[in-house]
């Protein structure tokens, strides 16, 4: 929970102070680009910093993290950097031809399929190796994809959420978010190797559209995405029509309410 | 059932922002943001010679530039084909005689006339380019101010053109009959207005129709690899006329509101 609070407060700082170039003191500190040197001779620089003229300077604009004497700056908007255990959602563009293909793997997962997978290992050049070795991963059926910046997806214990409003959501660490109707039976999970192509009922589609617009609203206002923030945003948006959520005034109002509720939750 | 991915109905447009007079060294300009689509139009009025077949009229010239910032496909010369296609469509849309009063652009028959160079710049491609471009062109033409000129004749018969000293002394164009393009994309068995990039990817065929504020069609064009049934073409035309009329009403309202604010209007421009 404290991790969530750090991130949440840091993002609030970003929203209001990004143009200020001042350091925001709180549970998370903001460092901005090369103009912000750190004092303190004993501190070591980690990721996102460099030393110039015996001063430690941030090389990216982002949140400062201090662990004992190690100072790192985590950038706000980056390409996805994979880590072992991350969940990713994506479309198969190319596959390697290997012994697995000889076991007729291609019958199940082909190029062009949208899948969810887990990161198995990371290579030194940053490339990741994925696996779908559990039934909860695999092909994704009907649903809506929303692409956001990877830094806005909060790291949690689980990224597969069944929201009480009637839809389920997969928050990929790579920033790809998949919203789909909650399968009715317990054994039919999202994933596996068969696709369900039956028409989705209108009520489910309305919930999914509303969730999609809420996620877009949260992303535009730079709020972290996790199950609670999405749910609160959904509830705050209920009095408005689905298509109105994307209007700037309505978006601000909804996200303000969400932020307030999240603050009340911590306090 | 009339529900799209972002909650809109099949005939709903995305939230649009229109601002005129954003470029200072043009006769008229407008910027339109329709969702993620961003278009900038500048109109420059210059003196030229009338065309031989229409000696007592001025004319419009269209040029479309697809900026490389719009999408990665426009890198280098990638955007040229799309640019020429859009320019040709604009020529067709404005080919109808009643769209713009070209006779008001004439200064001296057979000798001098105003040529309006309309330059369209695509800043960002977010689906539904033609509609946004036509809205921006109409707004820019509404904003265009052409200086008043007087023709003085000497005793020898040579004509001199005198530009008025007052910078506010200018003629405005009547844009009541300027058409707007409405794109109807066929997805499955239904058609939608104002498709996003994802919806355009799912649509095999689209119909572009240009509608005036009174509901008259000035041109029609079919794009896409797929085929359209004559029945669906008729339905799409009816939808287009309906949507086009309400689009014109909304646009005119915004333009009039902006106009009424006058010089005290706070300009948002590009940094706002």
Has residue B51 been placed in a domain?
Answer: yes
Q: What are the backbone angles phi and psi of residue A237, rounded to the nearest 5°?
A: -90, -10
Among A12-21, B84-93, B250-259, which stretch is predicted with the lowest mean pLDDT?
A12-21
Whether B4 is in a domain gets the answer no
Q: Which of A181-195, A245-259, B201-215, B222-236 is the least confident region? A: A181-195
What DSSP string runs through chain A? -HHHHHHHHHHHHHHHHTTT-PPPPSSSEEE-GGG-EE--TTPEE-TTEEEETTEEEESSSEEEEEETTEEEEEESS------TT-EEEEE-------HHHHTTGGGTS-TT-EEEEEEEEE-TTS-EEEE--STTSEE--S-EEEE--GGGBPP-S--EEE-TTSEEEEE-TTSEEEEEEPPSSSS--S-BS----SPPPHHHHHHHHHHHHHHHHHHHTTPPB-HHHHHHHHHHHTTS-GGGGGSHHHHHHHHHHHHHHHHHHH-
**Residue B220 pLDDT > 70, yes or no?**
yes
A210 vs chain B: nearest CA distance in angstroms?
A: 7
* pTM for the predicted model, two decimal places: 0.81
Banded pLDDT at B242 (limits 50, 70, 90): very high
Give a yes or no: residue B268 inside a domain. Answer: no
Percent of chain A clearing pLDDT 90 (strictly above): 18
Residue B6: inside a domain, yes or no?
no
Please give the sequence-ordered ranges of beta strands (E in DSSP) within chain B, or none if there are none. Answer: 16-20, 28-34, 37-48, 59-66, 106-108, 112-124, 145-147, 149-153, 159-163, 170-172, 180-187, 190-193, 205-211, 217-223
Question: Could you tell me if A212 lies within 8 Å of chain B, comparing CB atoms?
Answer: yes
- At A113 the pLDDT is 83
Which chain B residue lies closest to A242 (C-alpha atoms)?
B7
Range of the domain at B66: 16-261
Residue A188 has pLDDT above 80, yes or no: no
Least confident of A89-98, A220-229, B41-50: A89-98
- Answer with the residue of higher pLDDT: B149 or B42: B42
Decide: B65 and B17 in contact? Cβ < 8 Å. no
Residue of B nearest to A144 (CA): B5
Domain count within chain B:
1
> In chain A, which residues have their Cβ closer than 8 Å to the Cβ of B1?
202, 205
pLDDT at residue number B206? 92
In a domain, B8, yes or no: no
pLDDT per residue as tens digits for the range B28-59: 999 999 888 999 999 999 988 898 888 888 89
A209 to chain B, any CB pair closer than 8 A? The answer is yes
pLDDT above 70: residue A38: no
Give the closest residue to A83 by CA, choosing from A126, A44, A54: A126
Nearest CA in chain B to A217: B6
Q: Is residue B267 part of a domain?
A: no
Residue B62 sits in a domain whose CATH number is: 3.30.230.70
What is the structure's pLDDT at A112?
A: 81
Q: Which of A205, A216, A247 shows the shortest C-beta gap to B3?
A: A205
Tell me if B2 is assigned to some domain.
no
> φ and ψ at A77, to 5 degrees?
-130, 100
d(CA A112, CA A133): 19
- For residue B141, name the pLDDT band (cuts at 50, 70, 90): very high
Question: Band of the pLDDT at A25, cuts 50, 70, 90?
Answer: very low
| Residue B270 is assigned to a structural domain of this protein | no
């Amino acid at each position: 929970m404290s991790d969530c609070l750090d991130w949440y407060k840091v993002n609030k700082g970003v929203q209001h102070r990004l143009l200020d170039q001042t350091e925001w003191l709180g549970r998370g500190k903001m460092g901005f680009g090369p103009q912000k040197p750190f004092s303190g001779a004993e501190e070591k620089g980690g990721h996102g910093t460099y030393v110039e003229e015996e001063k430690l300077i941030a090389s990216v604009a982002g949140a400062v993290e201090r662990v004992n004497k190690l100072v790192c700056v985590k950038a706000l908007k980056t390409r996805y950097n994979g880590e072992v255990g991350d969940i990713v959602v994506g479309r198969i563009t190319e596959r390697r031809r290997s012994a697995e293909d000889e076991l007729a793997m291609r019958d199940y997962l082909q190029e062009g399929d949208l899948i969810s997978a887990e990161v198995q290992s990371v290579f030194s050049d940053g490339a990741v190796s994925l696996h779908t070795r559990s039934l909860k991963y695999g092909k994704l059926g009907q649903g809506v994809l929303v692409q956001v910046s990877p830094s806005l997806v909060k790291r949690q214990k689980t990224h597969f959420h069944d929201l009480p409003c009637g839809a389920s959501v997969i928050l990929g660490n790579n920033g790809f978010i998949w919203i789909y109707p909650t399968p009715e039976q317990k054994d039919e999970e999202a994933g596996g190797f068969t696709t369900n192509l039956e028409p989705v009922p209108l009520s489910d589609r309305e919930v999914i559209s509303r969730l999609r617009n809420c996620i877009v609203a949260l992303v535009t206002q730079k709020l972290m995405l996790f199950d609670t923030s999405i749910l609160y945003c959904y509830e705050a948006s209920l009095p408005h029509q689905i298509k109105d959520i994307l209007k700037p005034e309505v978006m601000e109002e909804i996200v303000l309410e969400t932020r307030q509720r999240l603050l009340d939750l911590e306090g | 059932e009339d529900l799209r991915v972002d909650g809109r109905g099949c005939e709903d447009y995305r939230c649009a922002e229109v601002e005129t007079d954003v470029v200072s060294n043009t006769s008229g300009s407008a910027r339109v943001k329709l969702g993620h689509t961003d278009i900038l139009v500048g109109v420059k009025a210059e003196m030229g010679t009338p065309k031989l077949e229409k000696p007592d009229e001025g004319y419009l010239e269209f040029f479309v530039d697809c900026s490389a910032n719009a999408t990665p496909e426009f890198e280098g010369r990638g955007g040229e084909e799309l640019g020429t296609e859009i320019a040709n469509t604009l020529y067709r849309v404005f080919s109808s005689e009643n769209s713009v009063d070209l006779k008001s652009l004439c200064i001296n028959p057979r000798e001098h006339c105003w040529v309006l160079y309309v330059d369209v710049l695509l800043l960002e491609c977010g689906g539904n380019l033609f509609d946004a471009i036509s809205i921006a062109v109409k707004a820019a033409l509404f904003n265009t101010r052409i200086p008043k000129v007087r023709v003085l004749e000497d005793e020898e018969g040579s004509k001199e053109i005198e530009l008025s000293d007052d910078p506010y002394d200018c003629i405005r164009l009547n844009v009541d009959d300027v058409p707007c393009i409405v794109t109807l994309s066929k997805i499955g068995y239904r058609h939608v207005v104002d498709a996003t990039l994802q919806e355009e990817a799912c649509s095999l065929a689209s119909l572009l129709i240009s509608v005036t504020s009174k509901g008259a069609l000035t041109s029609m064009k079919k794009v896409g690899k797929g085929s359209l049934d004559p029945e669906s073409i008729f339905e799409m035309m009816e939808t287009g006329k309906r949507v086009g009329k309400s689009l014109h009403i909304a646009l005119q309202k915004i333009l009039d509101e902006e106009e009424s604010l006058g010089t005290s209007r706070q300009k948002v421009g590009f940094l706002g």
